[in-house]
Structure 1
Amino acid sequence: MGSRANAPRGDTGEDALARRWTLTAADAAEVLRARGAEHRLRCAVQLCTLRATGRFAADYRRVPPEAVNHLAAQLGLDPVLALPKPERPATESAQLARIRRHLGWGEFDHAAEQRLRDRLQERAAEGMTPGPLLALAEDLLRTARVVLPAPGTLERLVASAAAHAVQDLFERIAAGLPERLRDAIEDLVDVPEGEHRSPLAHLKEPPPAARAKAISARLARLDLLDELLGAGADLSAATPQLQQHLAQLGRRYDAQALRRFAPPKRHALVAAFLVETRKGLLDQVVAMHDQYMTGFERRSRLAYEEKHRALRRRAKSGLDTLLGAVDVLLDADRDAPISRLYEAVEEAALRGAAADCRAFARLEERGLLDELAARYGDLRRYLPAFLRLPFEAAAGSEALLAAIEVARMLDAGASEALLDDAPRHFVPAAWRKLACPAGQRPRRALWEIALAFAVRDALRSGDLFLAASRRHVSFWNLLMGEQQWAEAKGDVYARLPVPPRPDEALAALRARFDEAAGAAACGLPRNLFARIQDGELRLRQPDALPVTPGLRKLRAVIAASLPQVRVEDLLRQVDRWTGLTRALAPLGGYEPRGGEDTYRTLLAALIAHGTNLGVAAMAGSIEGMTPDRLHHASQWFLREATLKTASKAVVDHHHALPFSATWGDGTLSSSDGQRFAVQRDGLLGAVYPRYFGYYDRAITLYTHLSDRFGVFATQAISCAPREAGYVLDGLLENDTLVRPLVHTTDTHGFTEQLFGLCHLLGIAFMPRLKDLPDQQIYKLDKNTDHGPLEPLFRGVVDTALIAEQWDQLVRIAASLRDRTAPAHVVLQRLISASPADRVSKALTALGRACKTLFILRYIHEEPTRLAIQRQLNRGEARHSLARWLFFANRGEFRVGDYEEVMSKASCLGLLSNAAVLWNTVQIERVVGRLRAGGAEIDPADLAHVWPLQHARIIPNGTYFLGWPQDETAETASI
């Protein structure tokens, strides 16, 4: 912060000199009141410094010589090499007072200090941390035209105001907690005799994989929190954002650290943690139920199919036996005794064949339901407690809520006669004959299994919701409220690239549609990629992108010319360019430990997670390092938010390099998933048979990559759902300088609803569809004839429905853009909505129109196809860099907790971005040397030399050899 005491040393260009170091006529007159050339120069320097920074310069030696001589020229004075200190402090003080009066600035007196302190305490009570508070203090003083005190003085004032406000906040929160809850908190942070961990530590455990026992344990934990918080935990003294901040602190401090705090602080942190944990638990048990029911069905179906295969073979053999017996009977004399039949076919074989055929017939009729029912006992281990959750129903789903109430009454001991009139609309049609026989009472096991599936689906669609959760609230509560939408509507339509009137929006869409259809129809005779045969679309396999001999040689020369670099040296150099470690600030409220940790610790922790070594192995690879130091840095500094900010610094720096324009203009991006095995159970892990078989679990790291190779978003997701649900998250939560206008994915990253939302948000969505000929495409107008394309259209878009729901569709898009809720949550609700949901149907209709428009362009425009192919190839190539860096433990995650996985994923993304920046700088140097030597390099070839080389980067071995022990950077003290 000390640099604010002086004029910025970098402002020495012509524009900066003119802007910051130019005197007005009145300024010059004031300066000339000083006697002597040195006094006048010092006066001019202090005048300009105060006006620019709000402070007087404390050290004249730090003022740029260019600025001093620029002022000297304006005053008609001779140039100087350096400006000496004043000999008489009293003269200097009088001169500074005159400058203040001239510019109209006041002193930082007691009254100004008290006003500032009051304002800072207000903002600190709202959750602002010391870093932003210091910047706010400087801005407030400059706005009030009060001279800023010395940096150390202001920092101490800010720290004091923050500490006072936070302590006051802790006391107000603690005072609002009932005594019973405060006593319970004391018990939670106490380690019982004979135990190694506190009860609070158990509450912090991440959710395991969705098994019935684990779900039951989570529900019991939820009951415990309900009991603890039932008497009322009043956190109204803190804003919702501050509550979350305090909860994060409560999660990170262990019981031993919490016991050292004063009771008000301990009670406030743990209470906030408990409140936020309860919300998270509701989301967890919903996710676990969803995952369990999906596995429940999969296991039942696999068991059914295995029995079906075995019985089918036996039934076929038995059928042959029975048919043989029938033939014997038909050919025999009618008066012949039955013994003649047993002479041809043994009785045992005949009976066995009949039993096999009956068993197979029974299996086909009810085998799957029998397998489901056989697992009913395991489902019952948690289902009664799960159905006791405080579900609420959206309009039209009240019958499902009534069915849940019936199940609750049955679990409470009511007679099964309740099932006679219980709702059964949710029972699948294929089950009803056996689950709900006509005129009979439904079979409770199958009825409850069907209810469990129905609840899962209703929670996905939002037909059921939990008001106290974070993500499973009612759909419209995820978005802008009605009043907020009414107030913001005008501004939203001004900022989103869509007109406010639906007829105008549809007219524009029709014009683009007709243009694309006309061009595709006219180009069919000359189209070498697509043709229409027998009323169906036929495509020719696209050729691989060519690699010329010149390009192959250029790649080899550049690869051989890149210097070898260890990963820690690479990271240090990139930090010097970008200042990425300055973003790795601890959570506000963090109390630093005594100066045992260094800059190396922070880089070592980054590398430990980004290479998958882990803190123990990394500590053993660095002289003098301990696992405790690395764990401490990881826990407090390497959070998802700070790593995202650090990665932003690297991406922004790379994006701004002129040489990065070699690969694109930054408006094209792609997203793709990379699968990694995971060894520990967790909600993220899922079976992925394609690569990992039916028993090993895997997760997906879903990354968004710009055409300049910067990864601007990383998400850890399950392999189970479609990746399409997470495309918008990365695009909308992007804070970098990258601003994609066109986005591409593979087939797994596409849905029709996503097409519609991208259109509303002004993003051209262009996926590569593997099954393109099988995609259904739609007309916008039934009566329009599109010539040779006519056989391809399978339906007509319901434009009237789009017009009817236009306002609501734009409201959804605006809410996503403003990040009121995670995009994947909203998109999942819309995809899973019931067929009667008109908003969802309207979005699907819009998406079908946009998908058809894109397909027509794709089959006609070769440059579009090539651009999509190139960008997706870049994404695949980036996966190789990630694999190279994430080398340890065979590239398998050994943690299952979402936070730990995201920490590793974010560190990996940061390391790969640093490698891309490093490679870009080195490639530019190599190309510069080649061109200086007379080599002619085709820009088209250079565009295919990507900064993803990794063979020269060394990610393993012994780290930080040759580094000085006191290596430092401008980072927070660990």
Structure 2
Amino acid sequence: MTSVERTAYPRFKRHFTSKELTEIYTPTRSEIAFSYSNTKGKSNIFNLLLALKAFQRLGYFPKFSDLPNPIVNHIRSCLKFPDEIVAGYDNYKTIYRHRTAIREYLQVTPFNQLGLHLAAKSIHESAQVMDNPADLMNVAIAELIKQRYELPGFNTLNRLVRRVRHLVNQKLFQSLQERLSNDYQQRLLNLLDNHPVEYRSLYNNLKQLPKRPTRNHLNDLIVHLVWLDSLGDIKPLLVDITITKIQHFAAEARVLDASEIKEFNLPKRITLLLCLIYSAQVTARDNLVEMFLKKIKSIHNNAKRELELIQQKYQETVDKVVGVFIDVLQIFIAKPAENEVVQQVEKVLIPEGGAEQLLTECEKMNAYKGNNYLPLLWQFFKSHRSTFFRLIGQLQFESTTSEQSVIEALNLIKENQNKRGEFLKVSINLDFASPQWRKLILIQHEKETKVVRRHLEICVFSYLMTELRSGDICVIGSESYADYREQLLKESEYLPLIDQYCTDLGFANNPTDFIAQLQSLLTETATAVDAGYPDNRQLVIDDSGEPVLKKYPRRDLSPSVAILLEAVETRFPERNLIDMLRNVDYWTNFTRHFGPMSGSDPKIERATERYLLTSFTYGCNLGPTQAAKHMRGMVTAKELSFVNRRHVAVDKLNAALVDIINRYNVLKLPGIWGDGTTAAADGTKYELYEENLLSEYHIRYGGYGGIAYHHVSDTYVALFSHFIACGTWEAVYIIEGLLKNRSDIQPDTIHADTQGQSTPVFALSYMLGIKLMPRIRNWKDINFYRPDKNTVYQHIDSLFSGAIDWDKIQSHWQDILQVVLSIKTGKVSSAVLLRKLGNYSRKNRLYQAFQELGRVIRTIFLLQYISDLRLRQQITAATNIVESYNGFSKWFFFGGSSIIANNDPVEQEKIIKYNDLIANAVVFHNVVDLTDILRDLQKAGFLITREDVAALSPYMTNHIKRFGDYLIDMETVPNILDDSEALVLT
């Protein structure tokens, strides 16, 4: 059974503002005329209008006893009827007649067998791709409304959804089971039984988490993947189940233990197991590649550090080597017998480590001379060699371009992995390798060119890392490192969308005119900036061509703002954090999204209270054990952990956040701070334990951890967040956060820090209709590009260092749109594309086209940036908001020494979402309190201007109590939100 609160089934709100009553429930003249023409008597006219307005709002006829008194009173006052006229019919025939008249007036068909069939068909089609009962019901409701049908009762729809969903799923489960042999089914079921030695089921191994990237953990992960692959190739078995449902079934299985899985019927049990195995196989490959990339990167970093040490000790090494070879030269000058020469040379060399040791030191000296660390890689690579070869033996790699040189080289070293000689007698194409690598790999020995085995192996693994990152090589059976081309829309799918998409964004719908638009925009912008240079008091270009942007003076708080801020802070009521969370839930009902993964209603007692306590526990990073100690027996640690694990998922937290954001967006006060059209993105580090794959040491942030990457609106509310590794290129997620934001606040301009200035990000954001305007500290080091080589500017010519290759953009215009439309339709993630486009690729022409387009858009932005002081101030103000939010949200993350103690990446993401939930709830509550305070100040005669209020911020914490006992009183309800009494600001 699904509760009505978790669906889109229309229902009356608990409370109404006067504005809502006026806008929604005030009868129009035509509606009043309709009532008078269809019935007689004030009571009947009143009831007919009540039924009409209720039906318009709900799509069905509610019981008159369920009509909220504010609506009844409002409509009565609109008709100017006396209070003696009450809602309710005495005659059932009148009810029937009035409802028929309303349906005819609104041109709505009563729910009948045809409507039932229509609803069942839409549920059946949707059940192929989704599984949550609330989502399926929403589909049925949307279809009935679209076809102008009266909605049936909620229980009718609920039963229909349950029945159709059950039939669809059982058919899927049954057909899947029939494909499997009895022996294979039994093998799967054996996973649920306790192992005789380990005293736990192998089912738990399917949920194994990756650990930090070490050689031993890499070996363990390879063994884990070998075991997973031994369970069979699952993908062909799941061919009839959509990827969405596979993910849903896998998520459901992941939160259950073996004993609970056994309670399902056999077909469903088999299906859940297969989906979980398939998900585990894909995840294991992703994790294996990720760990491999980090290890190769670590090996290169170690070699670089070794080179630095060598450079420091260079003089000492020179003295030692020169001293040794002086002795050798003295022996050779004496010209003894040949065999005696060898013996005496050996006597000199052995005390200094022997010939091999001295050769290594000579290589180090050569590396120093060329500032080349590549010869030093072997000493860090050799301990990982066997593990890397096991890895490439377990994974299947393919090139995504026509060039196969790296794949061919990879196959060659696999064939020769058991060789131990210094050289390989093979022929190899090294076109992919840099001159430095080729110089190391190919050497002249005994009058012939030979391949140095060690250097070749390191080189191939290094380029494998590069090509996996750029997407030029993919891994079969992976998700993050799959061939992104297979995820793109097919030609027959995206070509029909181009014209409308280009029209919507104001782009030309053909490559020639598109290029002409860009050329015109770049030329006009550069010309205007050049012409305006003499009047630009902030930009100075000296005689050497060096540009300097003068800093604009910092704006301090005006005396009136300081007085207002002091008055506001002294009047803020003291609040318990957990009470603020309860109040915001009362106003928004965000906890309605929490519940079992199956989509059914929660069967726990006091569900809303448990959900609030769990949100508080994890959002403040207290952990269930510590939180339960401060809750005086209201809930146990086990119950808190259970709710988090079984009833709360990332998508549910995102939906809860959307409820808070949407209700916040209706409030008047945030509109003074911004209009929601701009947002800023920035990351902040959270401490993690080292024993997980996400945790990484980062110099910029210091210590081990992950990055919470927030998108914050100009109205101060956080729209979306990702949790990523410290080493991740943050610009990858700039666009993704906006695309995943499902709230009513939809910014079209995004600000970021310096990491957001990459050319592929500029290109992709432009093609998606997003204005990217980052704060760039090192803008002087970035190249400006001319429209063509012959263009010369009078004042700003020294800024430009190259010209745009328009042919490169024009020839790949259709490919660019294929990518953009694939992202827009949800076929592929912008983060996946940018992660590949953000890594240089000489093979991938799509990368080169995006890079060239990005150069155009970035140059236009940079020209605007250096010429527009207000734009720079706007960017600074927006990025200051997101940086303030980072500190604000962390203020609530006070438990557990502010360290995320869970090593599960899903749980880590949830904790960040919980924290956003707490922070946004406090922002919401602060705005409500601030609005009341400002109204009271106005009534007391305090002069408040719009400019002064715009300088305030809802990131206030002085009035909030974080510590003590965490008790929640569900009986106490907050005041009704009524924002109709607007602030009158001068």
TM-score (norm 2): 0.86
CA contact (8 A) 2:530 2:795 kept: yes
- Which range moves more in the overlay, 637-646 or 810-819? 810-819
Does 1:200 find its partner at 2:210? no
Sort the Cα spacing of 1:477 and 1:354 in 2 relative to 1 into closer, same or farther, 3 A. closer
Sort the Cα spacing of 1:782 and 1:874 in 2 relative to 1 into closer, same or farther, 3 A. same
Instruction: Note the alpha carbon deviations across 1:506-561, whole angstroms, 9 max, x for none.
Output: 33334433443334334434434221111221233443333333333333332232
Cα deviation, residue 629, structure 1? 1.4
Instruction: Note the alpha carbon deviations across 1:60-94, whole angstroms, 9 max, x for none.
Output: 463657659958998x99763423563x77x6787
Does 1:305 find its partner at 2:304? no
- Residue in structure 2 matched with residue 686 of structure 1 by the alignment: 696
- Residue in structure 1 matched with residue 398 of structure 2 by the alignment: 392
Sort the Cα spacing of 1:638 and 1:51 in 2 relative to 1 into closer, same or farther, 3 A. closer
- Which range moves more in the overlay, 374-383 or 364-373? 364-373
CA contact (8 A) 1:571 1:911 kept: yes
- Residue in structure 2 matched with residue 82 of structure 1 by the alignment: 86
CA distance in 2, matches of 1:493, 1:615: 51
Sort the Cα spacing of 1:73 and 1:380 in 2 relative to 1 into closer, same or farther, 3 A. closer
Q: Secondary structure at the match of 2:838?
A: helix
- Residue in structure 1 matched with residue 795 of structure 2 by the alignment: 788
Residue in structure 2 matching 1:674, options 684, 690, 709: 684
CA distance in 2, matches of 1:545, 1:261: 65
- Residue in structure 2 matched with residue 627 of structure 1 by the alignment: 637
Residue in structure 2 matching 1:422, options 428, 431, 434: 428
Instruction: Note the alpha carbon deviations across 1:324-352, whole angstroms, 9 max, x for none.
Output: 99xxx9xxxxxxxxxxxxxxxxxx9xx99
- Residue in structure 1 matched with residue 248 of structure 2 by the alignment: 245
CA distance in 2, matches of 1:69, 1:832: 62
CA distance in 1, matches of 2:112, 2:790: 80
Code of the aligned partner of 1:726:
Y
CA distance in 2, matches of 1:357, 1:544: 61
Does 1:849 find its partner at 2:856? yes
Q: Secondary structure at the match of 1:13?
A: helix
- Residue in structure 1 matched with residue 180 of structure 2 by the alignment: 177
Sort the Cα spacing of 1:444 and 1:742 in 2 relative to 1 into closer, same or farther, 3 A. same
- Residue in structure 1 matched with residue 478 of structure 2 by the alignment: 469
User: Aligned pairs, how many?
Assistant: 935
Instruction: Note the alpha carbon deviations across 1:796-829, whole angstroms, 9 max, x for none.
Output: 1112322222222233222222232221221122
CA contact (8 A) 2:122 2:139 kept: no
Q: How does 1:465-544 map to 2 (within 5 A)?
A: 465-533=474-542, 534-544=544-554
Sort the Cα spacing of 1:504 and 1:296 in 2 relative to 1 into closer, same or farther, 3 A. same
Instruction: Note the alpha carbon deviations across 1:231-265, whole angstroms, 9 max, x for none.
Output: 87522342222122111111121112102222111
Does 1:884 find its partner at 2:891? yes
CA contact (8 A) 1:5 1:151 kept: no
Sort the Cα spacing of 1:15 and 1:872 in 2 relative to 1 into closer, same or farther, 3 A. closer
CA distance in 2, matches of 1:323, 1:101: 105
Residue in structure 1 matching 2:296, options 280, 293, 297: 293
Code of the aligned partner of 2:459:
A
Cα deviation, residue 469, structure 1? 2.2
Q: Secondary structure at the match of 1:736?
A: coil
Cα deviation, residue 38, structure 1? 5.7
Q: How does 1:89-104 map to 2 (within 5 A)?
A: none
- Residue in structure 2 matched with residue 764 of structure 1 by the alignment: 771
Residue in structure 1 matching 2:316, options 309, 314, 321: 314
CA distance in 2, matches of 1:923, 1:966: 19
Sort the Cα spacing of 1:321 and 1:458 in 2 relative to 1 into closer, same or farther, 3 A. closer
Does 1:382 find its partner at 2:387? yes
Residue in structure 2 matching 1:271, options 253, 270, 274: 274
Percent pairwise identity = 23
Residue in structure 1 matching 2:914, options 907, 916, 919: 907
- Residue in structure 2 matched with residue 608 of structure 1 by the alignment: 617
Sort the Cα spacing of 1:322 and 1:551 in 2 relative to 1 into closer, same or farther, 3 A. farther
Cα deviation, residue 613, structure 1? 0.9
Residue in structure 1 matching 2:193, options 175, 181, 190: 190
Does 1:579 find its partner at 2:589? yes
- Residue in structure 1 matched with residue 459 of structure 2 by the alignment: 450
- Which range moves more in the overlay, 180-189 or 863-872? 180-189
CA distance in 2, matches of 1:488, 1:627: 52
- Residue in structure 2 matched with residue 402 of structure 1 by the alignment: 408
Sort the Cα spacing of 1:726 and 1:52 in 2 relative to 1 into closer, same or farther, 3 A. closer
Q: Secondary structure at the match of 2:555?
A: coil
CA contact (8 A) 2:300 2:377 kept: yes
CA contact (8 A) 2:471 2:481 kept: yes
- Residue in structure 2 matched with residue 754 of structure 1 by the alignment: 761
Code of the aligned partner of 1:611:
C
- Residue in structure 2 matched with residue 364 of structure 1 by the alignment: 365
CA contact (8 A) 1:809 1:843 kept: yes
Q: Secondary structure at the match of 2:795?
A: helix
- Which range moves more in the overlay, 631-640 or 864-873? 631-640
CA distance in 1, matches of 2:114, 2:514: 58
Cα deviation, residue 778, structure 1? 1.6
CA contact (8 A) 2:43 2:85 kept: no
Instruction: Note the alpha carbon deviations across 1:726-763, whole angstroms, 9 max, x for none.
Output: 11111222212222232221112221221222222222
CA contact (8 A) 2:508 2:517 kept: no
Sort the Cα spacing of 1:149 and 1:469 in 2 relative to 1 into closer, same or farther, 3 A. same
CA distance in 1, matches of 2:121, 2:798: 73
Sort the Cα spacing of 1:153 and 1:623 in 2 relative to 1 into closer, same or farther, 3 A. farther
- Residue in structure 2 matched with residue 972 of structure 1 by the alignment: none
CA distance in 2, matches of 1:813, 1:111: 40
Residue in structure 1 matching 2:965, options 958, 964, 971: 958
Q: Secondary structure at the match of 1:18?
A: coil
CA distance in 2, matches of 1:154, 1:659: 39
Sort the Cα spacing of 1:497 and 1:370 in 2 relative to 1 into closer, same or farther, 3 A. same
CA contact (8 A) 1:308 1:360 kept: no
CA distance in 2, matches of 1:98, 1:487: 44
CA distance in 2, matches of 1:426, 1:5: 61
Cα deviation, residue 782, structure 1? 2.0
Code of the aligned partner of 2:594:
L
Q: Secondary structure at the match of 2:217?
A: helix
CA distance in 2, matches of 1:184, 1:150: 46
Instruction: Note the alpha carbon deviations across 1:376-425, whole angstroms, 9 max, x for none.
Output: 33322422232232211133321222222223322478999865213434
Sort the Cα spacing of 1:42 and 1:562 in 2 relative to 1 into closer, same or farther, 3 A. closer
- Residue in structure 1 matched with residue 556 of structure 2 by the alignment: 546
Sort the Cα spacing of 1:197 and 1:21 in 2 relative to 1 into closer, same or farther, 3 A. farther
Instruction: Note the alpha carbon deviations across 1:42-75, whole angstroms, 9 max, x for none.
Output: 577557756764544434463657659958998x
- Which range moves more in the overlay, 896-905 or 62-71? 62-71
Residue in structure 1 matching 2:569, options 559, 563, 571: 559
Q: How does 1:30-49 map to 2 (within 5 A)?
A: 31=39
Sort the Cα spacing of 1:578 and 1:360 in 2 relative to 1 into closer, same or farther, 3 A. same
Q: How does 1:706-717 map to 2 (within 5 A)?
A: 706-717=713-724
Cα deviation, residue 944, structure 1? 2.0
Cα deviation, residue 566, structure 1? 1.4
CA distance in 2, matches of 1:492, 1:730: 21
Does 1:702 find its partner at 2:709? yes
CA contact (8 A) 1:176 1:235 kept: no
- Which range moves more in the overlay, 829-838 or 777-786? 829-838
TM-score (norm 1): 0.87
Q: Secondary structure at the match of 1:424?
A: coil
